[in-house]
Structures are given as C-alpha cells and as structure tokens.
C-alpha cells in the first residue's frame, strides 16, 4: 500500500538529489534532463527489467516543427498541433497546458538525438486520425521496446543509476508537503530508505488497478487492460494523501482493434487507409476514422463485444510493415477469404448482409451514397478483393489519461492552487491532454506528455536540486 508518512526527519540508507519513480519513457527522459543539469539522479523501477507501457506501445511520438518534418517540407506549427489536440478533446483540456507540451516537443526530440544519441524517423506513409499533418516520430524499428532500450542505453551512458526490482512504497514528507525521502521494497521483502531533495512521479496511471478503474472509469471495468500490469495507480494514492489535485480521472485511451483471442494490436493504419469494421451480424456500426480510442467502446457495444476488421491485399501488405501485425499473422489471427461467401462463413453472418455492406462501401466511394456514420470513403482507397483479409478484434483499455494537475514546469499542484514544494509528475502519472473521456485521445497523446513532461520535470527538478 503506497503511503505518505509525515515525519520531520528519517534515517536513510542512501541519499540522492532526485528520485524518479518508474523507468518508462517519462522516467528515463526525466533522468537524462536532470543529469544534464549536473545533479545526482536515481530511477527506481519495480520490475527487474524496465519496460512499462512504453515497451508495449508502438513508440510513436508526435512533435511539431521538427527537422524531420522540415526535410520533407511538411508545414507544422505549435498552433496547428495545439488545434488538432484541442479539436479532438473538444477543448476540454487547458489550452495553455497543451501549448506548453507542444512547444517543447521538437526541442525534446532534437536534444535526445544531439545529446543522447537517439534516432528518430518521421512516419509519413499515412495520417493518423485527427492529425492534419505527418508528425509521428519513431525509433527506426518503429517499436516501443526499441525506444525504451535505446533510452536505457542513453541513461547508462549518462551515468544514471536505474535501480530495478525496487518498488517505491512510502514517501516521507514534512507537514508542508516537502518530500525528503522514500522507501523501496525489494522482491525478498527487504525495505530500504532513500533520502532525496526532489521526487518525480513517472509511474504512469492506474490502468493496472481494477479498484481505481471501477471508481474512475466504470465503463471499462470488465474490459481487457492492454497496458503494463505494474501501473497500479501509486501516484494517485500519494497525490490524494499530499492534497494534490487529481483531474479528468475518467479520461483514457482505448483501442478498438486488438486481435482476439490472440491479444495483438492490429495497426489502425489499415482502417485509415480503407479497411472497415463489421460486427458479427456483418454490418458496419460506426465511423471508423473518428479515432481508434472511442472505437474501443463502439466495438465493446457490439454482440459479444467483438468486431471484424475487413481489408484487402494492399492493406495486408501495409500491415506487414508493422511488427505487431507480423506477430498477429504468425499467431494465426489474420484470416483470408477468397470470396464474399467465405467472409460470411468466417464471420458467421448471412452472405447477403456481407454483400450489402460491401456494395454500400462501393457506393460511398463513388459518391452515389453517403455513409450514415459520416465516414468519407475515397475511391483510391476502395477495398479491392478477393482475396479479403479478416481479423477478429475487441476493444481494450490501453492507459489512463487523467491524473495529477501540473504547472508549466511539471510541478505538482494542490487542489487550492498552490504547488507542492519539490514534487513533479510526468507521463501517465500527470493529467494528459485528452479531455475527460475516451473520445478526446488524439493518437500519440500518451508519449507526447511522457517525453515532454519528463523533460520539463527533469530540467526544473534539476535546477531546484542544484539550488538546494
């Protein structure tokens, strides 16, 4: 149980300037930024090998005004990026906060490359839903595991200690909320105490805590959680005890395309480039291009909580560019239908219904009919089959987006508007930029606040620790 113990002083086994809780993208970026400030940093990670949701992710980081965008003459500005995020969350997020993270997004990626030997490419094959321009950056291998491994190499080069198998349990605080240390529990039950001048919460949200999900996001109580199991909401517990402000707690990223029962993410690029979703009756039920996050709920509302992604050879080949998709293929999740009758057979729906659904798409693409859900079908992206490809998918909870309110330096705010003296929050531990529910999540919002708030927290905690 994560507690805050209010004790004036404590005896510590070790001492460090900045203690960071969690070694995902947020924690590792924060560590690099703090270390660049010349201060002592330790990252505590509950797992024996750091991975977090970052390793499970596709590792796509949105940023504007970057050198990779300039190289392809893609025009993107802070204003355009902020507008895209705010349009998606229906202006439910604080525009100044959104602007703050977008404003540093390019600097953070450039700094990671120039100072810490990271590599990024710009993904310019297709536009993710809601983005008006290409701004997804990724490690060349386009996986979250490559991103985390590359960041781990950088923190090692920088001389940061990442202490694994070290679950942070208790924080020790003075009455004014100043944290002066924490305790870590080892797998063998041994507890060590570490003194610190500042602490950064980078332990993500509460997706792995069913009780908190029941409390804050009851609509996903029974759904599959697809994020890192170790994200138990410790920052939420500490925040409550410290009087910190927790906001937009019902906000989360869902995903409507997880192959079932295989449990592999099927890239949404396939849907954006022309694929469709049919339910087990063989009918479409939504505008699939609104976003994959809200599609989680749309899919879960269908019979048995499942849908079928239906696409063609061109889109299958596009999918093969993604490691997850290749894994899904290996696992037998991708089914091939050589006729409309075969689609009906696989789905278990009447052949006439499937035929009608496909004919409708054809008419939407030619402009003869309008999609009742508002999706615009482009003729050049029209499904061309047989063969058709099918994957049975379900909706899942990926990660929570509500969390601790922070200021423009990633400092933790109290409910009364004051700041805690030496506590910072980043990534999924802090509130995101996705509004209040499932439909405000613009692709990439997760890693956007992981790397930008991680960077800001590391810089400002570093400055503060240097002074103290």
Check: CB of residue 163 under 8 Å from CB of residue 44.
Answer: yes
Check: CB of residue 22 under 8 Å from CB of residue 451.
Answer: no
CA separation for the pair 144, 427 (Å, rounded):
15
Which helix H or strand E contains 456, and what residues bound it?
Answer: helix 445-467
CA separation for the pair 19, 43 (Å, rounded):
6
3-state secondary structure string across 237-267: HHHHHHCECEECCCCEEEEEEEECCCCEECC
**What is the nearest approach in angstroms of ligand FAD to the Cβ of residue 354?**
30
Chain centroid to Cα 273, Å, comes to: 22
Residue number, 268 or 308, with CB nearest to ligand FAD: 268
**What is the nearest approach in angstroms of ligand FAD to the Cβ of residue 357?**
28
**What is the nearest approach in angstroms of ligand FAD to the Cβ of residue 361?**
28
Residue found by looking up tokens 């449990």 in the block: 263
**What is the nearest approach in angstroms of ligand FAD to the Cβ of residue 422?**
18
Chain positions contacting ligand FAD, by CB under 6 A: 21-27, 44-47, 50, 52-54, 56-60, 167-168, 202-204, 226-228, 230-232, 234, 265, 398-399, 427-428, 444, 446-448, 450
Residue number, 254 or 282, with CB nearest to ligand FAD: 254
**What is the nearest approach in angstroms of ligand FAD to the Cβ of residue 62?**
7
Residue number, 25 or 420, with CB nearest to ligand FAD: 25
Q: Which residues contact 463 (CB under 8 A, 6 or more apart)?
A: 37
Nearest CA among 57, 66, 63, 67 for reference residue 25:
57
Nearest CA among 253, 243, 199 for reference residue 428:
253
**What is the nearest approach in angstroms of ligand FAD to the Cβ of residue 60?**
4
CA separation for the pair 206, 198 (Å, rounded):
23
**What is the nearest approach in angstroms of ligand FAD to the Cβ of residue 286?**
21
CA separation for the pair 412, 431 (Å, rounded):
10
Q: Which residues pair with 391 in a beta bridge?
A: 309
Residue number, 279 or 309, with CB nearest to ligand FAD: 309
CA separation for the pair 59, 119 (Å, rounded):
12
Residue number, 59 or 177, with CB nearest to ligand FAD: 59
Residue number, 230 or 256, with CB nearest to ligand FAD: 230
């Amino acid at each position: 149980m994560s507690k805050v113990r209010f004790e004036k002083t404590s005896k510590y086994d070790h001492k460090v300037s900045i203690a960071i809780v969690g070694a995902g993208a947020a924690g590792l970026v924060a560590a690099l930024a703090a270390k660049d400030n010349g201060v002592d940093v330790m990252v505590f990670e509950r797992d024996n090998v750091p991975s977090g949701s970052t390793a499970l992710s596709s590792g796509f980081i949105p940023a504007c005004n970057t050198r990779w965008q300039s190289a392809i003459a893609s025009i993107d500005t802070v204003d355009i990026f902020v507008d895209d995020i705010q349009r998606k969350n229906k202006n439910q997020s604080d525009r100044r906060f959104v602007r703050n993270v977008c404003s540093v997004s390019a600097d953070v990626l450039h700094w990671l490359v120039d100072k810490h030997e990271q590599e990024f490419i710009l993904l310019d094959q297709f536009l993710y839903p809601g983005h008006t321009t290409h701004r997804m950056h990724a490690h060349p291998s386009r996986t979250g595991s490559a991103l985390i491994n590359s960041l781990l190499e950088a923190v090692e080069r920088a001389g940061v200690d990442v202490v694994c198998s070290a679950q942070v349990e208790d924080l020790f605080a003075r009455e004014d909320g100043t944290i002066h240390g924490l305790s870590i529990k080892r797998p063998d039950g041994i507890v060590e105490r570490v003194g610190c001048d500042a602490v950064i919460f980078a332990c993500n949200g509460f997706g792995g805590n069913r009780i908190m999900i029941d409390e804050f996001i009851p609509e996903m109580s029974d759904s599959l959680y697809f994020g890192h199991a170790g994200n138990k909401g410790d920052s939420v517990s500490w925040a409550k005890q410290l009087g910190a402000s927790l906001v937009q707690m019902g906000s989360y990223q869902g995903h409507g395309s997880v192959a079932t029962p295989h449990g592999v993410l099927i890239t949404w690029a396939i849907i954006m480039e022309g694929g469709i979703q049919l339910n087990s009756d063989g009918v479409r039920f939504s505008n699939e291009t609104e976003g994959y996050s809200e599609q989680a709920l749309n899919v879960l509302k269908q019979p048995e909580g499942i849908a079928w992604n239906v696409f063609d050879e061109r889109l299958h080949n596009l999918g093969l560019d993604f490691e997850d998709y290749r894994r899904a293929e290996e696992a037998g999740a991708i089914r091939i239908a050589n006729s409309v009758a075969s689609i009906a057979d696989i789905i278990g729906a009447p052949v006439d219904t499937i035929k009608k659904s496909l004919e409708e798409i054809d008419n939407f693409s030619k402009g003869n009919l309008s999609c009742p859900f508002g999706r615009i079908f482009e003729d050049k992206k029209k499904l061309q089959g047989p063969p058709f490809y099918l994957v049975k998918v379900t909706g899942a909870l990926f990660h929570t987006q509500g969390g601790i309110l922070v200021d423009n330096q990633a400092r933790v705010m109290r409910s009364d508007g004051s700041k805690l003296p030496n506590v910072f929050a980043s990534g999924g531990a802090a509130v995101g930029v996705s509004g209040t529910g499932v439909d405000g999540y613009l692709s990439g919002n997760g890693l956007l606040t992981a790397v930008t708030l991680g960077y800001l927290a590391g810089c400002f905690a570093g400055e503060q620790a240097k002074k103290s």
